[in-house]
Structure 1
Amino acid sequence: MKFIHLLSLILVFPTLLFAAVPPKVKTLSLNHAIQQKIISLNKVKYIGKQSLQLTIKNIHKRKDIKIHFPTGLQFASKDSSEQDQIILQERILLVRAGKSISPSFVSYCTQSDHLSPGLNSEFKLKENANGQLLELAQFLATIKDSQYTSQHAVWAVTNDHDLKGLHHNDFKTALKIQKFVADLTGKPLPQYTVRYRDGSERQVAFTGETILIYGNHQYTLSQDALVTCQIFNEAGEMVQEVFKDMKQKKGKVRFNFHLKTMDLPKGKYVSKVIINNQTFKEQWVEA
């Protein structure tokens, strides 16, 4: 009896062990999976909030597949007047045999002089990013909460924009992005940054209209002082007082200022640091 029981265990255990091991799921890039006719990309559409939705079906009826969406995946608009899109976020998603998935991705426009996409605008897959654009995409994929800054960084490469649009509420993050893009493109670091009005759906994406200008002053005081900061237009008229008679201690001083420009005419403005009724330091900006 013991021999028969032992023999049963020997015969059954490998079967149980084999059954417990799930089949290996192959991972393919989106492009390769489409080329090999393993999956079909049925639709790519804009769903608002700077996002594309992809509808993908696993054509194989018995095998699951993992799809790799690489950083720098690009999509061409089916409407030539609208901007093409690039995806920064790398993901790997499982698509069950015979099933479909519809993931969404944050996307960025790559042609600032074209129209922004509208709801349900359709796209088709194009070649992946390469060169400077791919380097930028891989870098930006590591930065969190930077959609505005990332969009203007993309345009700095694809449309030769300057770096004033690389504003971020976190100064260290802003500087990190600015330095990377400056090194990548050879463009100078911005002396100040700008928050532009966002373009509307199916309107030219880059408006060039400033909402806010962000600058800063850095200097060294030889002694304690009462300091005033005011902003003037080219005619010498004060348009904004940042602060008045603030006591600052001797040593290194750094502070930020911002100028609301929505209700101001276009032109140049100067932010002045004033001590004892004399201009101690100034910075020019342009709205």
Structure 2
Amino acid sequence: MKSLLLLFSALALGYFNTPTPLTLQEAIDKGMVEAKFESTGDYSGEAINVKIKWLKGKKQPLTIPHGTQFISDDEYDQDIFILEDQDIFVQSNQEESYPLLGYCCQANNAAPNESSGFTMSTAKSKDLLSLAKFCNNKRLDDHSKQAAVWAISDNNSISDIYDIENPMVKNLRKEVARIKNIEDNWYSTVTDYEMDEERNIARQPVEVKGDLQYEFKRSGKLSYAVYDENDELIKHLGDGLPITRPGSYSFGFNLKVEGWKPGKYSVKLSMNGNIIHSQAFEV
């Protein structure tokens, strides 16, 4: 019994002696550390390097909380937004560099150059803060997080959050739709983000995919095709698909759109030569 009490006391002492994490900003305000913030040259993922020098006081974990926004020193470069709490454990009194996960939040600006500077702040956008609260402590891939940030910061399509067979990504997309107070799209757009020589980031749609749904009132032969916003035929996708009886049907839709002109399109279902249903999408 005595040994158990001693063990409990040791555990309790260890617990209460564990340093309480400070935010990095609190440590700076108290003069405990000095910090510089530099771009890694990436616009997404490990996008920020924090260079920290410990000045005084007992070393303890430092936290950069979700909702932090790093403001670029260059007004033409994107700011970097932090979606999840991240801890830094300083090991020495020498200046040390620590990478942070962050995501550009001004899609129309250029990606920051390597070693370009930032000022740490708290985001003013309530919508971005809501997104960060949702994403914190969730295992989401970088593409989905970046697409979600740009959907809110720059009104990019939420269809770019495309890996919705993953339940966590599907929930992320639902949350973005809720924050933006919009209906979710019926389709997903597989996209690449490419950076040009001027460090501008271009959105490159590769594929549109989703489900075509319709309740047929009678049987017949179904065909479907894609039209542009001027209602000009772009591509036939299928002909002569038999609908053997009335009822609700769902058809998988996969369309390669790499190199297509950005704009509005629609896929239209026809039966016996007459258009009976249309579903719109954008590239």
Q: 2:161 aligns with which of 140, 149, 167?
A: 167
Q: What is the CA–CA distance in structure 2 between the aligned matches of 1:141 and 1:256, rounded to whole Å?
A: 33
Q: How far is the alpha carbon of 1:245 from its aligned partner? A: 4.2
Q: Which residue of 1 aligns with 2:129?
A: 134
Q: What is the CA–CA distance in structure 2 between the aligned matches of 1:210 and 1:256, rounded to whole Å?
A: 19
SS at match of 1:75: strand
Please tell me the residue identity of whatever aligns with 2:104: C
Q: What is the CA–CA distance in structure 2 between the aligned matches of 1:208 and 1:64, rounded to whole Å?
A: 43
| Residue 279, structure 1, aligned to residue 246, structure 2 | no
Any idea what the Cα deviations from partners look like across 1:158-181, whole Å, max 9, x if unmatched? Answer: 33x154444322245554233322
| Residue 92, structure 1, aligned to residue 87, structure 2 | yes
Q: How far is the alpha carbon of 1:81 from its aligned partner? A: 0.9
Q: Structure 1 residues 270 and 132 mapped into 2: Cα distance closer, same or farther (>3 Å)?
A: closer
Gap runs ≥5 in structure 1: 1-12
Larger radius of gyration: 1
- Structure 1 stretch 102-111 or stretch 216-225: which is displaced more? 216-225
Q: 1:264 aligns with which of 254, 260, 273?
A: 260
- Structure 1 stretch 226-235 or stretch 78-87: which is displaced more? 226-235
Q: What is the CA–CA distance in structure 2 between the aligned matches of 1:254 and 1:164, rounded to whole Å?
A: 22
TM-score (normalised: structure 1): 0.75
Q: 1:184 aligns with which of 174, 179, 187?
A: 179
Please tell me the residue identity of whatever aligns with 1:213: V
SS at match of 2:89: strand
Q: What is the CA–CA distance in structure 1 between the aligned matches of 2:242 and 2:138, rounded to whole Å?
A: 37
1:75/1:85 contact within 8 Å kept: yes
Q: What is the CA–CA distance in structure 1 between the aligned matches of 2:134 and 2:51, rounded to whole Å?
A: 27
| Residue 156, structure 1, aligned to residue 156, structure 2 | no
Q: How far is the alpha carbon of 1:265 from its aligned partner? A: 3.7
Q: 1:217 aligns with which of 184, 209, 212?
A: 212
1:162/1:187 contact within 8 Å kept: no
Q: Structure 1 residues 30 and 238 mapped into 2: Cα distance closer, same or farther (>3 Å)?
A: same
Q: How far is the alpha carbon of 1:213 from its aligned partner? A: 3.1
What is the CA RMSD across the aligned residues, in angstroms?
A: 3.4
Any idea what the Cα deviations from partners look like across 1:144-202, whole Å, max 9, x if unmatched? Answer: 3343333233233333x154444322245554233322322323433444445524164
Q: What is the CA–CA distance in structure 1 between the aligned matches of 2:231 and 2:127, rounded to whole Å?
A: 42
Q: What is the CA–CA distance in structure 2 between the aligned matches of 1:101 and 1:247, rounded to whole Å?
A: 67
TM-score (normalised: structure 2): 0.76
Q: What is the CA–CA distance in structure 2 between the aligned matches of 1:266 and 1:38, rounded to whole Å?
A: 51
Q: 1:39 aligns with which of 15, 33, 57?
A: 33
Figure out how many residues of one structure are paired with residues of the other and give that number.
267
Q: How far is the alpha carbon of 1:131 from its aligned partner? A: 2.4
Q: Structure 1 residues 124 and 266 mapped into 2: Cα distance closer, same or farther (>3 Å)?
A: closer
2:85/2:137 contact within 8 Å kept: no
